[in-house]
Structure 1
Amino acid sequence: MQSSFIENLHEIDERPHRFSRIFDADIYDSKEDLSRLFESDSDPEQQNKTLSVGTNNNVIVNKGKDINIYTLNSNINGTKTNSLLYRGCISTPNDVQKILPHDNSILIIDKINPQAVSAIDLQTGKISQKWDLNLDVKDCFSGTKNIGNETKYDPTIIGLNSNTIFKLDTRMKDSVVDKNTYKTDTKFKTGMATKTGDMAICSENGELRLYSFSQGIPKRAKNLLKGHNDKLVGMDITGNKKYAICTYKTYILFYQVQSAYTQTLRKEDKDRVPKKLCLKPEHVPYINEEISFTTAKFSTDENEEFIVASTGHFVISWNLCDVLSDNLYNYSIKKCNDKVVADEFGFNCSDKIVVALKDDVKMVDKNKLKNVDNVVKKRCEESSVHSSYVYDNEQ
């Protein structure tokens, strides 16, 4: 009997490996030895690039040509816990451009051949199916979004390139079952589907197109919300069709779009200014590094009530109730020990955040994120006490 690709689970903190380095500086003779230990980390190609969380609790992290598999586990040996477990690594011949969890497989697009989508079986680590599309693919996403207890995968995949939307049915040998190509270059960048199959697709300049579900690819968007001419980082939508967020380098735009998938909006509704999520100016000195947001994500619990993003070493979370009440600066924050590459909530979970650092993957308890005003106030008080102590001792 052929052994499974994934055999034994190990708690990530108990198993030192190249993705979670554990060392004691005392065992190294010099700083040069320590620098040599991390010499490979300076190579951007050997650092974590992307993060994806599947409905079956698989966590997929792309690192160059390696695809690393982890599992979120809530029960070990009968003990309730929230552990991140390392399962194994799949090596690919080329650097990966896109990874999409899909049932017990992952779908990948590599940078060398962006005209094909390959399915890799997570049990064998081998390609189980491949679709040659005869068109470049920038992004792909599931035909429906799972939230709450919905864990069944949609067999249809929606793909994008600069001016084409197409549908792939993974049950069929034929590659593209339907497509729509725009005559003008719409510069599509990324997209997402709701739980009922409506679609939101964003262009590089932030133009947001909302499409009503149909059996084929819609020929035109139900609504087009203008972009802000800044370079888009990424986007996300809620499965319940109520909200969308578009991430830019220094801010995140929050849209209320509940009826925009199925009804043509009035001009004044299309022109309505979205809410802007950004860091409070007084908090920027506390961050003390360039602001550069990763793609913001909604939680996928039943209520989809939280948003998470990151900048530099910091994980940041907003409560949807605060955003809707215009308390846009009422966010929580946590500093990590390395730069955050990507983060998102565990599936059907609003209290655990999976964080991919440059060379590590961690689970962060959202309840341990702190209110920034309180953190800044505490630091100011500590600084004031220190300054007073120095002044008194100089007298």
Structure 2
Amino acid sequence: MNILKKFMDSGKKESVLCFLPSGEFDLLRGEQSPKSSLECIHNDAALLIWSRGRLQYDLVVRKAIDEAEAGNDVGDNSDFSDDAISILSVQSKKKEEDSIFHLSPKLNIKKTWSKNGEAALTWNNLAGDEPDEKVQFVLSNEIPLKDMDNFLQVLYSCLFEVLNQKPAKLATDNEIKDIELLVNTMTDDGTEELSNKLQNLFVVDDSAEEDDEDDSNDNFVDAKENAVKSKKAKKPFGREQNIPQGKQLCLIEADLHLFDPIQELFILQEQPINVSLIETGKYQYWLSMEGKEIRLGTNVSPNVNPTLDDNKLGFIFNYTFENITLSYMLKFLSVSEYKSFKMEWTSCLWMFLNREPWEKVSEMERQYIVNAESTNLIKDLDEILGFGDDARRESAEDEDTESSEEEEEEKGHKKRSVLISSESFGETPSSKSSSGNKSLTVSYRNNRSYILRGDKIGVFKTVDDDDDSGLEFVSVIKNVSNADGKKIDPKNPMMYMEDRSIILSDDKNLNRLYKLDIERGKVIEEWGTGDKNVVQYGPSKKYDQLTAEQTVLGISDKALFKIDPRINDENKIVQDQSKEYASRNKFSSVGTTEGGYIAVGSEKGDIRLYDRFGIRAKTSIPSLGQPIRHICTSGDGRWLLATCDSSLLLMDLTVKTGKNAGNIGFLKSFPSTENVKTYILKISPEHASYMVTYTKKPIKFSKAYFNAGVGQVEQTIVTSTGPFAISWSLDKILSGSAKPYTVNRYRSDVVEDNFEYGTDKKIIVALKDDVSLSKIKSFKNPSKMVLMPENNINDFYE
């Protein structure tokens, strides 16, 4: 609609200037109110601004009227289009169906966001029963956000006329913008102050009093800057407030865009604005964005989900206020300006995360860090073809064929979701463990999965039949205790010895591991590790759990060692197959390949690659800033997948140049002129804005895994954050797809998910109080309706 429309029905007392045709009208009560904090008044209403006389306006909420009512009351009114009749031209049979608010600064009207992430307008209910009562108009999802912005521009113009008693056509751009700035920066308890400041911003032009009343019939138009001279200079209010003091590291111009969740497009907000990075303290940095109309700022942190897009010369990030997360994009005007910002942002983020000066980083490491942060995935054709070998291409073709068949099958069969209650663990609703499920481990040798919950281990099996597939409860191992009968808090389960046993740890005894016999349901061995606290452990080779191999790989915060339970001593560490460093490297995670090559990650974010125990690392991969929480490798050692809090690192460990070309980093080091090719996998800021707004929590990934199977090609990744399970396709990652992931949403947070052994088509998902078997084909391309469904969310639950 053309919301900046001409005053209509100028001869009538009530003339509609503009309107928002559809939304929900709510009453908002204060926290101290004994009544409900939110009460819906009309679930379908329109919001209007109308003129009730010369330079006086009302904000009106009108209940929507159905066509039957409209047909009885509509008269001849040619000023409205047919589809606007029921809202704007029909007088309600009941006068109380209109809620009328005289427009003044005391309303303190603001653009906000509802709890469901919908655009809304809130203002004070001055006639309410309680002093802090407000009302809210939540815009319908069918109405573009730009219509609300246009509505607000008319409202600001009306407010100018109310305060200055002269037509808005005489106002300059800055005078209207100053009103907008003041309205949007005033606190709830500052309405009197707002009114005073608005009055003082302008000098009343007495000549306006002589204008004919018919001026109200003119369109709102922008005045020339020199059309009206103010009698005294005015300084824009609040332009410099709240910008942290510090050293300015860069100042660059860029265009600012905002992601519109209705249209699912980035919409230009202002061009250009000044973008600067400011050092506010030791390893503390601030991103400042300031234009004539918009001023934003945020800490430099991975929590804003930053994404650098080389192809668009863009920087996309999340901005959170009032529990709503938005996605903005800075689009730089030239390649040189983009590269300048990219270097400054990356160095600031790295220093914030590592608490070390950028100058300590070598030039090659700097190139690795800066290039890894961007989304430019352009590759040589040979590299793409190298990745898409015959096995992978055949697998992809098989997947496409199977997906098509499954889609056809789904047309005739409705998929049945399978959820297994925590009552399977022997718990009643009243005794349900408050901590819920803790972790998941999947058997390779049979179709069993094991869920840790308190001091219990639940055993489940996958069931496949012609009609459906799912999980069935098998048994529960209760009261997990050590060899002396004392209860332990089991953690970090690892399948062992042909999947007949599980290795466990306990935070109260960090220098000890426990071997639990599954058939007997009890701990039968304890292994000491001397003075070394075990941070993490895993199989000596990736698929050792399928065999009778007894040795286990372990790490402490500064050592890598092999554990052999056959050693006739309390300390089971093999001394001549250990590597201990003098300083604390803060080792945090470990993974192995099918051939026994070892990858060790640290809290510092760096990764070391070894070809065997007891020697120096062949390759050291620099830190990108975030701690490494988990490591998974491909069977052949080409690919390494590291889980960080807000991103996954997919690394191609193949040496591309020099005398070691064709080898992998476990066996040969990279030349000084080559860095490890690293793909940073993130949720796009646009999608993260939906997720963070819904969960009220930052993105934090669970352990990420490749699909697993002896002789199989790794081609899919699975992880989770909050209630969302997420699957990445390696083919899409390497082909440069902008959104190479799909999503599935659940009723509660996903604790951990992993593939069923031998396939990438099914995953087992451990929720807080349930366990589910899901098919990858049920995952959906991310969108607002998938990530924040508003109607029947059960349509998407697994």
Give the TM-score normalised by structure 2.
Answer: 0.41
8 Å Cα contact 1:343-1:356 kept in structure 2: yes
What's the offset of the Cα at 1:121? Answer: 0.8
More helix by share: 2
Where 1:321 maps in the other structure, the secondary structure is helix
Residue 523 of structure 2 is matched in structure 1 by 127
Is 1:89 paired with 2:476? yes
- Alpha-carbon deviations, 1:198-238, whole Å to 9, x = none? 0111011221111113xxx2321100101122233322111
Q: Amino acid of the residue matched to residue 315 of structure 1?
A: A
Q: Amino acid of the residue matched to residue 53 of structure 1?
A: V
Is 1:183 paired with 2:582? yes
Q: Mark the CA change 1:299 to 1:100 in structure 2 (over 3 Å): closer, same or farther.
A: same
Distance 1:192 1:309 in 2: 17
What's the offset of the Cα at 1:299? Answer: 0.7
8 Å Cα contact 1:283-1:376 kept in structure 2: no
Residue 336 of structure 1 is matched in structure 2 by 746
8 Å Cα contact 2:421-2:769 kept in structure 1: no
Q: Amino acid of the residue matched to residue 369 of structure 1?
A: F
Q: Mark the CA change 1:305 to 1:14 in structure 2 (over 3 Å): closer, same or farther.
A: closer
What's the offset of the Cα at 1:326? Answer: 2.3
Greater relative contact order structure (CA < 8 Å, 6+ sep): 1
Q: Amino acid of the residue matched to residue 461 of structure 2?
A: T
Q: Amino acid of the residue matched to residue 151 of structure 1?
A: L
Distance 1:376 1:82 in 2: 24
Q: Amino acid of the residue matched to residue 503 of structure 2?
A: L
Q: Mark the CA change 1:14 to 1:51 in structure 2 (over 3 Å): closer, same or farther.
A: closer
Distance 2:690 2:419 in 1: 33
What's the offset of the Cα at 1:81? Answer: 5.3
Residue 393 of structure 1 is matched in structure 2 by none
What's the offset of the Cα at 1:336? Answer: 0.6
Instruction: Give runs of aligned pairs for residues 106-121 of structure 1, distance below 5 A.
Output: 106-121=502-517
What's the offset of the Cα at 1:284? Answer: 2.2
Q: Amino acid of the residue matched to residue 203 of structure 1?
A: S
Q: Amino acid of the residue matched to residue 60 of structure 1?
A: Y
Distance 1:233 1:48 in 2: 19
8 Å Cα contact 1:107-1:118 kept in structure 2: yes
- Alpha-carbon deviations, 1:244-286, whole Å to 9, x = none? 122222211111014100001112323x462111112221233
Q: 1:166 aligns with which of 555, 561, 577?
A: 561
What's the offset of the Cα at 1:111? Answer: 1.5
Residue 68 of structure 1 is matched in structure 2 by 458
Residue 324 of structure 1 is matched in structure 2 by 734
Is 1:267 paired with 2:267? no
What's the offset of the Cα at 1:242? Answer: 1.2
**Unmatched runs of 5 consecutive residues or more in structure 2:** 1-416, 481-486, 655-663, 792-798
Larger radius of gyration: 2
Residue 157 of structure 1 is matched in structure 2 by 552
Q: Mark the CA change 1:80 to 1:267 in structure 2 (over 3 Å): closer, same or farther.
A: farther
Where 2:547 maps in the other structure, the secondary structure is coil
Distance 1:279 1:220 in 2: 35
Q: Mark the CA change 1:20 to 1:256 in structure 2 (over 3 Å): closer, same or farther.
A: same
Aligned residues: 345
What's the offset of the Cα at 1:341? Answer: 0.8
Distance 2:745 2:430 in 1: 21
Instruction: Give runs of aligned pairs for residues 173-252 of structure 1, distance below 5 A.
Output: 173-174=568-569, 175-177=572-574, 178-213=577-612, 217-252=613-648
Q: Amino acid of the residue matched to residue 440 of structure 2?
A: L
What's the offset of the Cα at 1:54? Answer: 1.9
8 Å Cα contact 2:421-2:770 kept in structure 1: no
Is 1:279 paired with 2:683? yes
Is 1:49 paired with 2:427? no
Where 1:18 maps in the other structure, the secondary structure is helix
What's the offset of the Cα at 1:86? Answer: 1.8
Distance 1:187 1:378 in 2: 38
What's the offset of the Cα at 1:84? Answer: 1.7
Q: Mark the CA change 1:16 to 1:375 in structure 2 (over 3 Å): closer, same or farther.
A: closer
Q: Amino acid of the residue matched to residue 528 of structure 2?
A: D
Is 1:297 paired with 2:705? yes
Distance 2:610 2:775 in 1: 35
Is 1:312 paired with 2:717? no
Where 1:268 maps in the other structure, the secondary structure is coil
8 Å Cα contact 1:19-1:361 kept in structure 2: no
- Alpha-carbon deviations, 1:324-363, whole Å to 9, x = none? 2222522111101110111111111211111111111111
| Higher deviation after alignment, 162-171 or 303-312 | 162-171
The Cα RMSD (Å) is: 2.9
8 Å Cα contact 2:490-2:505 kept in structure 1: yes
- Alpha-carbon deviations, 1:27-80, whole Å to 9, x = none? xxxxxxxxx947856x3xx311111112123312212222222223446xxx68
- Alpha-carbon deviations, 1:118-143, whole Å to 9, x = none? 21111011222222221211111001
Q: Mark the CA change 1:284 to 1:48 in structure 2 (over 3 Å): closer, same or farther.
A: same
8 Å Cα contact 2:588-2:629 kept in structure 1: no
Where 1:115 maps in the other structure, the secondary structure is strand
Q: Amino acid of the residue matched to residue 303 of structure 1?
A: V
Identity of counterpart residues, as a percentage?
25
Residue 101 of structure 1 is matched in structure 2 by 495
8 Å Cα contact 2:419-2:772 kept in structure 1: no
- Alpha-carbon deviations, 1:60-114, whole Å to 9, x = none? 2212222222223446xxx685332222222221112321111201011111212
Distance 2:615 2:626 in 1: 26
What's the offset of the Cα at 1:172? Answer: 4.7
8 Å Cα contact 2:717-2:730 kept in structure 1: yes
Distance 2:645 2:542 in 1: 25
Distance 1:124 1:21 in 2: 18
Distance 1:47 1:378 in 2: 24
What's the offset of the Cα at 1:169? Answer: 2.5
Give the TM-score normalised by structure 1.
Answer: 0.79
Q: Mark the CA change 1:84 to 1:171 in structure 2 (over 3 Å): closer, same or farther.
A: farther
